[in-house]
Amino acid sequence: MALSQGTAWKFALPLKVVFQRFAFLSLICVSVALLVLGKADLVILERVRTISTDALTPILGTLSQPVNALNKGIERVKELATLVEENEKLRRENERLIRWQAVSRKLDQENEYYQRLLNALTDPLVLPITARVVGDSGGPFVRTLLLGAGTRDGIRVGQAVVGPLGLVGRIAEVGRKSSRVLLLTDLNSRIPVILQKSRHKGILVGDNSATPKLEYLPINAQVSPGDRVVTSGDGAMLPAGRPIGIVSSVSDGQVQIQTFADWAKLEFVSVLRYDLPGLTDRATNPGDLGESQLSN
């Protein structure tokens, strides 16, 4: 009996090692296969991803709250130190803005009057959905955000995402309760833009660096540092005229943009529900159509 147990062990141990080796190697092969399949944009992989993010987002939301509270506390203490200067600065800025407001009101009225004269069609109404940022990319290879809102809140793939200062990116993946934003700076991001002053159109191309590039500008386009860049609205996916950033440098044909968005301070973002009546159907953008026609 003792002998047979001994022999069983003699077989069992190498078998275990063989099994472990086999599992290890086969899992490596599975990983490589997943990478290759992922390149082919398989629907099933995306489904797995969105379902899993849906399940994990509530945990992330809870985890991010103490971090937010701590950061808010630190910021509050910092603000206390510069309260007087801040107050003075804001007072001056307020005076300046009140003057601007008067100018802007006048221009707005003028603009409306001219549009009526020309019988110009107005842009459809844009409805923002505010969502909490529950996750960031946490690594050097992608520039994305996770939001705690999904299809049930009206978010669809392709919609624009804006922060308090300007455009942040677009929705790339959407689950029921969560969605992923592809930031402007990501390698795969392409946004149709226009130079606000010269009205030249181009494409904003992300390259994983902090300053995306402006490409496909007309050859005769004159670009100088400081020019404002806004969305052009081409392709009818993003509303036109949303601020993105300013041209930070122009060197031998390379135009780089400094974005307005403050990447570290994005706690909430707005997802813009936008569609041009007739260009999107109810299935891809349900609920929007009726609302957006309000303005027409």
String of contacts with other proteins for each residue 203-242, x by CB under 8 A: ----xxxx--------------------------------
Distance CA 176, CA 174 (A): 7
241: number of CA atoms within 13 Å, CB side? 2
Residue that is written with structure tokens 């069983």 in the block: 8
CA distances from 281 to 274, 275, 276 (A): 12, 9, 10
Q: Give yes or no for residue 165 binding other proteins (CB under 8 A).
A: no
Listed residue (177, 156, 170) closest to 285, CA to CA: 156
Listed ranges 97-105, 189-197, 263-271, 278-286: which one lies at the site for other proteins (CB under 8 A): 263-271
Nearer to other proteins, 87 or 209 (CB): 209
Evaluate whether 185 touches 174 at the Cβ level (below 8 Å).
no
Instruction: Please give the residues from 27 up to 86 whose contact with other proteins meets the rule CB under 8 A.
Output: 27-28, 30-39, 45, 48-49, 52-53, 56, 59-60, 63-64, 67-68, 71
Q: Give yes or no for residue 180 binding other proteins (CB under 8 A).
A: yes
Q: What six digits make up the tokens of 165? A: 């200062």
- Residues that bind other proteins (rule: CB under 8 A) add up to a total of 55
Q: Is residue 195 exposed (0-12), middle (13-18) or buried (19+ Cβ within 10 Å)? A: buried
CB of 244 to other proteins, least distance (A): 19
Distance CA 147, CA 129 (A): 11
CB of 234 to other proteins, least distance (A): 24
- If DSSP codes are grouped into helix, strand and coil, which group holds residue 194? strand
Nearer to other proteins, 136 or 153 (CB): 136
Q: Give yes or no for residue 249 binding other proteins (CB under 8 A).
A: no
Helices marked H in 82-152: 83-118
Enumerate residues 6+ apart whose C-beta is below 8 A from 45.
Answer: 34, 37, 38
The residue within the footprint of other proteins, chosen from 13, 18, 20, 114 (CB under 8 A), is 20
Nearer to other proteins, 59 or 107 (CB): 59
Distance CA 219, CA 205 (A): 17
String of contacts with other proteins for each residue 120-149, x by CB under 8 A: -------------xxxxxxxxxxxxxx---
CB of 23 to other proteins, least distance (A): 5
**The Cα angle at residue 221 between residues 219 and 225, in degrees rounded to 5:** 130
The residue within the footprint of other proteins, chosen from 105, 106, 265, 282 (CB under 8 A), is 265
- If DSSP codes are grouped into helix, strand and coil, which group holds residue 30? helix
Q: What six digits make up the tokens of 294? A: 């309000």
CB of 30 to other proteins, least distance (A): 7
CB of 178 to other proteins, least distance (A): 11
CB of 32 to other proteins, least distance (A): 6
CB of 55 to other proteins, least distance (A): 10
Binding site for other proteins (CB under 8 A): 20, 23-24, 27-28, 30-39, 45, 48-49, 52-53, 56, 59-60, 63-64, 67-68, 71, 133-146, 173, 180, 187-188, 207-210, 263-267
